[in-house]
Amino acid sequence: MSARRTKGKRSQPVSLDEALAAAYAEGGFRAVVLASSKGLPIATVPAEYSSDTTAALIAVLRKAGSEAQKQLGLADVDEVTLRTSDGARLVCREISLDGENLILIASIPPGTSYRRVTSRAVALIRATLC
């Protein structure tokens, strides 16, 4: 199933791979991964991104978000971000769809804006899967 992106009067199908590739190119990201909540990759850009790395990242970031939410009494956490000393970021965004949770992970170079780009990717992914 795919969403449609309209450009002028024509519409083009958008696949998960296309949604991730668009975020990768538009944001200048190092990698973009869509994975299951268990860490199994569904789509990755670039394609050779490690599935073992993806699973480990998701486990660590989900645990951090969950613990912060519980300990501080926060509302649902929709993003967990790690920032390195050089300013690079690793962003983990949760996408809930009909009781299923997917995770969008983006590796972002120092000094790069990301929220608008990842929000567009989340919207495309939702539209594609709904």
Asked if pLDDT for residue 22 goes beyond 90, the answer is yes
Asked if residue 20 lies in contact with residue 29, where contact means CB atoms within 8 angstroms, the answer is no
- Which pLDDT score, from 0 to 100, does residue 2 have? 46
- Residue 63 CA to residue 87 CA, distance in Å, equals 22
- Which pLDDT score, from 0 to 100, does residue 130 have? 82
Distances (CA, A) of 73 to 49, 101, 125: 35, 21, 29
Asked if pLDDT for residue 109 goes beyond 50, the answer is yes
Kindly report each contact of residues 97-102 with a partner whose C-beta sits within 8 Å and lies 24 or more positions away, as own/partner.
97/126, 97/129, 97/130, 100/37, 101/36, 101/37, 102/34, 102/35, 102/36, 102/37, 102/42, 102/129
- Which pLDDT score, from 0 to 100, does residue 61 have? 81
pLDDT tens readout for residues 84-104: 999 999 999 999 888 888 999
Neighbouring residues of 7: CB distance < 8 A, sequence distance ≥ 6: none
- Going from N- to C-terminal start, the domains of the chain cover 3-129
Mean pLDDT of the chain: 84
For the question of whether the overall pTM of this predicted structure is more than 0.75, the answer is yes
- Which pLDDT score, from 0 to 100, does residue 18 have? 92
Question: For residue 49, what is the DSSP state?
Answer: -
- Which pLDDT score, from 0 to 100, does residue 98 have? 85
Asked if pLDDT for residue 6 goes beyond 50, the answer is no
Asked if residue 16 lies in contact with residue 125, where contact means CB atoms within 8 angstroms, the answer is yes
Asked if pLDDT for residue 5 goes beyond 60, the answer is no
- Residue 43 CA to residue 24 CA, distance in Å, equals 12
Domain 3-129 class, CATH top level: alpha beta
